[in-house]
Amino acid sequence: MLEVHRTHQAKIRNHSQVGELLDRHGWSASKLWNVANHHSREVWDDTGEIPDHGELKKELKTHLKYKGLHSQSSQRVLEELAEAFNSWDGSADERENPPGYRKKNHYDQQGRRVHEEHPRSTVTWKQNGIRHDATNKRVRLSKGRTHKEYPRAREYILVECETRPDVSVENLQQARAVYDQSTERWELHLVCKDEIETPDPPGTETAGIDLGICNFAAVAYSTEDADLYPGNRLKQDSYYFPKEIAHCDNPGGNEATRLHAKWSERRTHIFHSLTKHIVEQCVEKGVGQINVGDLEGVRDDQSGESKKLGHAWESRLALVGVWPFHRYPRIQARAEGYRRCKILWARHKQDVLYVWERRRYSACWTGSVRLWGVWCGVQRWRERGGKHPSRDESK
């Protein structure tokens, strides 16, 4: 058996009753983030080192803002801040900034601050702070001390959840309250631990997958079959949504937020649909090992600088900046893991066009065949004399 953690999105049916309480906890999470951020910057200025989450928990455990959430929820906020600082400190990009404060100041005409507004941050409750009533589809969330009538009073937020009909919430590990800017409502993300059977590999065949922009994926199988998945829809969205977002008066307003959310949902849907189809085709052809091109550093040249593709590549360069390369391996690996397919990540030279046996083949096809032949089908590759599948010829 294989243990996996699945996140189910749940709608809050009694939002009118619990919305205000969730707002208070979201604001408390933002205020704790700001306090911990200020403390980290002071320690950094004094010692030159950024405190980790253990030091933050030790120093801020008695702080008033720490008591605005359940203890485990406060610990998770400090862990997220430490992870953000570590990610920034380990980045080689000098243009990146350290984690900022979660607040917006409002000033009068004389420049005096008259009001500050905190966003509603995501709040995470772990096992000690949640109780799940599977019969009535309710989740009980512990309040922070400062939001109780008495510090030690047994007060909770009782949330009525509604998930998809085909979802069964069992073995609840975490509950995350996430505020949706587009709908101005809270929703719950329920993290459950499930056990699934680990079936045997579908077969002994192999496949190579080359990922790109013009074509989402080119797949070459050791059975001499090949599939091509165009990326037209993704390219259209990558041109359309940035223009619409640029026309918005307020980049952080409701309309811009709605467009960002819609764009993300469309990409996620396309990725999941295509990934599911690729995996089903691999299972149908008895593929037991899949080789995927490693996209690390795809935007950089050998010196680590951004690639300069030239005037003829301006339109494609514009896409490279917004193309979600980082989501390909994650979604592909997650989908293939359920099918017991072994995954290998391969680095290969990125070229535009290959000439092979007096025939011209696009880089997508050739890259997928190289991944298949070099990594997992060397013997069969040699037996065929390095011949490319005839139906993959680019005209």
DSSP string, 356-390: ETTEEEEHHHHHHHHHHHHHT-HHHHHHTTTPPPG
In a domain, 315, yes or no: yes
DSSP string, 300-365: B-TTSSBP---GGGHHHHHHHHH--TTHHHHHHHHHHHTTT-EEEEE-----SEEEETTEEEEHHH
pLDDT digits (tens, 9 = 90+) for 174-190: 999 999 888 889 999 99
Q: Are residues 227 and 367 in the same domain?
A: yes
Does the pLDDT value for residue 318 go beyond 80? no
Q: Are residues 37 and 175 in the same domain?
A: no
In a domain, 108, yes or no: no
Which whole-number Å values give the CA distances from 195 to 2, 4, 171, 192, in the listed order?
5, 6, 10, 10
Q: Are residues 32 and 6 in the same domain?
A: no
In a domain, 107, yes or no: no
Q: Which residues constitute the domain of residue 182?
A: 2-17+121-196
In a domain, 111, yes or no: no
171 within 8 A of 125, measured Cβ to Cβ: no
Q: Are residues 317 and 228 in the same domain?
A: yes
231 within 8 A of 212, measured Cβ to Cβ: yes
Does the pLDDT value for residue 342 go beyond 70? no
Question: Among 146, 176, 196, where does a domain finish?
Answer: 196
In a domain, 355, yes or no: yes
In a domain, 181, yes or no: yes
**Range of weakest confidence among 3-17, 172-186, 371-385:** 371-385
393: confidence class by pLDDT, cuts 50, 70, 90: very low
pLDDT digits (tens, 9 = 90+) for 48-81: 899 999 999 999 999 999 999 999 999 999 999 9
Q: Are residues 365 and 252 in the same domain?
A: yes
